[in-house]
Every structure is written in C-alpha cells, then in structure tokens.
Amino acid sequence: MGVRELENRFVTTLRTCAKIAELKKLHAHIVKLSLSQSNFLATKMLDVCDNLGHVDYATLIFQNLEDPNVFSYNAIIRTCTHNHKHSLAITVFNEMLRHETKSALPDKFTFPFVIKSCAGLLCRRLGQQVHAQVCKFGPKSHAITENALIDMYTKFGDLSGAYQVFEEMTEQDAVSWNSIISGHARLGQMKIAREVFDEMPFRTTVSWTTMINGYARAGCYVDALEIFRQMQVVGIEPDEISVISVLPPCAQLGALEVGKWVHKYSEKSGFLKKTSVCNALIEMYAKCGCIDEAWCLFDQMVEKDVISWSTMIGGLANHGKAYEAIRMFEDMQNAGVAPNGVTFVGVLSACAHAGFWNEGLRYFDVMRMDHHLEPEIKHYGCLVDLLGRLGRLDQALDTIMKMPMQPDSTIWNTLLSSCRIYRSLEIAVVAMKQLLELEPEASGNYVLLANTYAELGKWEGVSNVRKLIRSKRIKKTPGSSFIEVNNMIQEFVSGDDTKPFSQNVFWILRGLTLHQTRITDFMEFVAEEGQVYSKTMP
C-alpha cells in the first residue's frame, strides 16, 4: 500500500474522531508507520484538535514537525485563534515569517485568523504591523482579510483605519458594511450607525440585528423595538441573535406583547432549544412582572446554566418571593451548578427584601468562604440595603466605610433612602455630602434630602435645600412612562404636549376625573342618606 493511500485512509478515520483519546490512538499508529512528518496528516490532526478544543495537543503535534508548510502553519494558527490562545497564534505567525522555505510563506488563509487574534489581544500596534504584512504577502484584494481588518480596527475604536480599508476595497459586501455599523454602535454613535445602515445597498439579518443590539446597548430601547418592527415589515426573518437582542429592550420598556410574540416565534422556529434564548425570555417575563410565566419556562428548560438559575433567582427576589428565591438557590447547588457573583446578588437581594438579616450575612460569608468569590460593589450594596431596611443605619454606614472599594452613588442613595424612612437626619447629611461629590447635578438626591427634612418637620432645612437647588440651577429630570398599544411603544413625558394626540388624552383624562368626581359625590350622598335612614328606623 502506497504512502498516499495510507494517508487517505487515516484522513477518513480522522474525520470521525469525536474524542481526544481516539485521536491519540490514531496518532500513535501514524508515528508507528513513520508518517508523523506528513504535513498532510498533521494538518488533518490539527483540525481535529481545533474541533475538540485541545490546543495543547495541537501544539505538541506541530512542534514535532521538522519542516511545516503553510497548511500546517495555518491549521495551528486557526486552532489557537478559535480557542482564544491569541498570544500563541501571534508567536506561531512570527515563527512562520522567519521560516526559510517558500512553502511556508503566509497566504490569504493565514491573515484572517492572525488579524482576529490581534483584535482579541486589543493590541493596536500589533494589528498595524500585521496589516503591513498583509500588504507585503497578501493578495491585493481578498474580502475575508479586508473584512477582518475592518473588524479589527473597529474593535480598537479606530474608525479612521476601518474606513480606510473599507474605501480601498474593490467591492464592499454585507460583512464590510455590518462591521462599520458595529464599530459605530460599539462607540455609542448610533446616529452615524443609522446613517450608514440607511446607505447600505443591501441588508442582511445581521445588519438589522446589529442595529437592534446597538440601540439596546445605548439605552435607546424604543428605537431598538422600532427597528425590530421595521425588520418584520420588510420580511426579514429574525434569527436567534435577533431574538436575544430584542428581548432586553422588551424587558426595559415592559413591552410584554412584543415579548410574547417573540416567545411564540422562538417556539415555532425551534429557538427554545437554545439555553441563551430561554434565559433572555425568562429575564423579559420577570422584568415585565410575569414571574409565573418565567418560572414555567424555567421548569420546561432541558439544560439550565448558571445564567438560567441566576436570572430566575433574581426575578423571584425582585417580586418579593424571598423564600422561593432562597429555595431555588439551594436547588441550584443540589443540581451541581456553581453560582457566580450575579447569583449572590439575587440571593442577597432576596434576603434584603424579606429582612432576613442572619441569612444575608451567612450567604455573604458563603460566597467568600465556600465559593471563593470576592464581593463586588453590588454585593455590598445589597448588604447596605438589608441593614437600611432593618433600621440599622449606623451598621450600614460602618459597612460602607469598611468596603475595600470606593462606594458609588447607588450605595449612598440606598442609605439616604433608608434615612428618610427611619428619620435619621445625621446619617442622611453624611450620605448627601458624599452624593454631592459624586453626582452634583442629580436632582433626585436633593429631593430625597428635602423629603427627609420634611419628615422631621425641619422646614428651615427644606428651604435651604431648595435654595441650594436654585443656586446650582439644577433642573429636575421630568418623569416619563411608556405604554404599549398594538405592539407600538408610546412614551409620555411630564409637561410634554407635543404629541399629535396629546389634546385627546387630556380631554379623556378630564372626562375620567369628572366621572370619578360624580361617582364619589354619589357614594357620599348614599352614605349620608343611609346614616339618616338608619337613625329613623324604629
């Protein structure tokens, strides 16, 4: 049997390798038959390592090659990049450049993965050096490499570099346009991203999803849902990523009807098999006030990860179901799923809402001692909230002072809110002093302090706070609310009468107020007449 025939037989068997143990056995046969220096077989074995995620064994195979060619180099670089070993990928690429034979010179299949590793390392200078190598060795026009360069520059935040590559391309495809949009979205430049999106000669599902995700990350939730609606109007079918991207805006706005539609669509499309989609749906239901629906979906999940458990625990805690949240945490541990920091935020929040002081302290210690998780500022925030709800304000202030990190405005705001409830002016002034340094323009802090003075009848203090607000020319952020009607989100801002239907709303409100007044007058009349009638009864 010839060498080529032997190699082909091994390749056929390698394609069916599903475990690293099987690969090692085949590798042993290859070494025994003196075929270990075959670049052809080495490349196929490296591909198997790539699929199985075994970079160490791939490195061993490659290092034993005496004269690797471009295919072997490409395979090991690809394996390193896919498995996030970006520094190793760059090291191998540098070795490739120093190789003496022409058979190992980088080609158009080398650079996309090297560029991706540069982006993964967020090393701009290294990326520019690789770009220079592309100009030296690479083809004059190769869309995959050029798109990788655009993506790399956008991840560096260097949009000028990205645009330079984009404009020099012979032909921009959808990936090129999407990368530019993603770059602007990543920097929060959604207005420019929308302009680029509108200029696109053709849009894919990725284009729409990138815009939805960009708006969501920028906090423009109404715009995210509007883009999703337009996506449906033009007949683009959402994929799993689209679904995951649109659910957080639904949760933030309370757009339950849109969320339910996404749930039904995901069920019909088979997306509910994906844990990530179910997790996003659970969070949406929980934040929209439908904790029972969230729990039902959670119970139906075949595979639950730490995000599934943590989302459900947090949802139960926020709905005041402290006992259920703590019981679910115990179930999570019994299921063998290791909790993370987010899990303990939910557990501590549940203890705070229920006033479980001893349990809260115990779980705080469990997080550190049993799971080796260092408490973050959110965990300390839950602890301060727990102490504040129980009226232990001195202990809450002491906890803040002993924190290993600088307390943020949220923690001081939590303490200030508790001071108002328990009428502790002394600690309220301490919290307010810190808030003035962190958020000097936040009107809500001044309002909380003024309300604390008012609760204690300290009207001079209320007056002084109001004078301070006027002297600093602080404007109160107008209140706003959202309402979902026919799958459309309408925002109402206090004092805003610019909407075309505002006058109709005001007339309806006046009518309801008048109607309510008449009902109240009638009920009072009935009550009075009833009393008179009862007194005249024999």
Using 50, 70 and 90 to split pLDDT, how confident is the model at 511?
confident
Q: What is the mean pLDDT of residues 283-308?
A: 96
In the chain, what is the greatest distance between 2 CA atoms, to the nearest angstrom? 121
The helix or strand, by DSSP H or E, that contains position 240, with its residue range, turns out to be: helix 240-253
In the prediction, which pLDDT does 8 show?
A: 85
The pTM for the full model equals 0.80
- Whether the pLDDT of residue 428 is over 60: the answer is yes
Residue 470's alpha-carbon distances to 241, 329, 436, in angstroms, are 48, 49, 15
pLDDT per residue as tens digits for the range 327-365: 999 999 999 999 999 999 999 999 998 888 889 999 999
Predicted pLDDT of residue 289: 93
What pLDDT, on the 0 to 100 scale, is given for residue 323? 94
Q: What average pLDDT does this structure show over 232-259?
A: 94
Lowest mean pLDDT among 230-239, 293-302, 346-355, 436-445: 436-445
pLDDT tops 90 at residue 495? no
How far apart, in whole angstroms, are the C-alpha atoms of residue 407 and residue 378? 10
Q: Residue 446 is encoded by which pair of tokens?
A: 């001044």
Torsion sign over Cα 85, 90, 96, 99: negative
**For residues 40 and 43, what is the distance between their CA atoms, to the nearest angstrom?**
5
Average pLDDT, the chain: 88
Mean pLDDT along residues 157-162: 94
pLDDT over 90 at 205, yes or no: yes
Amino acid at 108: K
Listed residue (284, 283, 293) closest to 259, CA to CA: 284
Contacts by residues 195-203 (CB-CB < 8 Å, ≥ 24 positions apart): 200/174, 202/174, 203/174, 203/236
Residue 492 — φ and ψ, nearest 5°?
A: -115, 125
* Confidence bin at 463 (pLDDT 50/70/90): confident
Burial of 272 from C-beta contacts in 10 A (0-12 / 13-18 / 19+): middle
If you write DSSP's letter for every residue of 38-73 in order, what string do you get?
-HHHHHHHHHHHHHHT-HHHHHHHHHT-SS--HHHH
Query: CA-CA distances (angstroms) from residue 455 to 39, 384, 417, 436, 526?
Result: 81, 22, 12, 21, 37
Convert the pLDDT of each residue in 367-406 to its tens digit. 999 999 999 999 999 999 999 999 999 999 999 999 999 9
d(CA 249, CA 246): 6
Neighbouring residues of 399: CB distance < 8 A, sequence distance ≥ 6: 380, 383, 384, 387
% the chain with pLDDT above 70: 88
Is 82 within 8 Å of 52 (Cβ atoms)? Answer: no
Instruction: List CB contacts of 427: < 8 A, sequence separation 6 or more.
Output: 393, 394, 397, 415, 419
Question: What single-letter DSSP state applies at residue 405?
Answer: S
Count Cβ atoms below 10 Å from residue 202 Cβ, excluding itself: 8
pLDDT of residue 489: 61
Which residue bears the tokens 């599934």?
308
Whole-angstrom CA distances from 6 to 26, 34, 41 are 12, 11, 10
pLDDT band at 257 (very low <50, low <70, confident <90, very high): very high
Q: What is the rounded average pLDDT of the residues 508-515?
A: 71
- What is the rounded distance in angstroms from the CA atom of residue 280 to the CA atom of residue 289? 15
Could you give phi then psi for residue 488, rounded to 5 degrees? Answer: -115, 140
Does residue 20 have a pLDDT over 60? yes
Alpha helices in 104-239 (DSSP H): 111-121, 124-137, 143-156, 159-168, 174-186, 190-199, 205-217, 221-233
In the structure, what pLDDT confidence band is assigned to residue 438 with cuts at 50, 70 and 90? confident
pLDDT the model gives residue 378: 95
Q: Over pLDDT 90: what percentage of the chain? A: 68
- Over residues 514-534, the pLDDT tens digits come to 766 665 655 554 455 455 444
- Backbone phi, psi, residue 489, to 5°: -100, 125
Structure tokens at 283: 């969070």
> Is the predicted pLDDT of residue 245 greater than 90, yes or no?
yes
d(CA 73, CA 94): 11
Q: Are 205 and 238 in contact (CB under 8 A)?
A: yes
Give the per-residue pLDDT at 6.
82
The amino acid at residue 93 is F
Cα 193 from Cα 199, distance rounded (Å):
10
Q: Which three-class secondary structure string do you get for 459-517?
A: HHHHHHHHHHHHHCCCCCCCCEEEEEECCEEEEEECCCCCCCCHHHHHHHHHHHHHHHH
Nearest to 106 by CA among 75, 147, 138, 152: 138
Question: CA end-to-end span of the chain, whole Å?
Answer: 121
pLDDT value at 27 more than 70:
yes
Residue 131 φ/ψ, nearest 5 degrees:
-60, -40
| Residue 354, Ramachandran bin (φ over 0: left; ψ between -120 and 50: alpha; else beta) | alpha
d(CA 403, CA 459): 34
For residue 224, what are the contacts with CB-CB under 8 A and spacing of at least 6? 211, 212, 213, 215, 216, 245, 246, 249
* Among candidate residues 17, 7, 27, the one with its CA nearest the CA of residue 51: 17
- The length of the chain in residues reads 538
Q: Is the pLDDT of residue 62 over 90?
A: yes
Residue 488 β-bridge partners: 485
Q: What confidence score (pLDDT) does residue 534 get?
A: 44
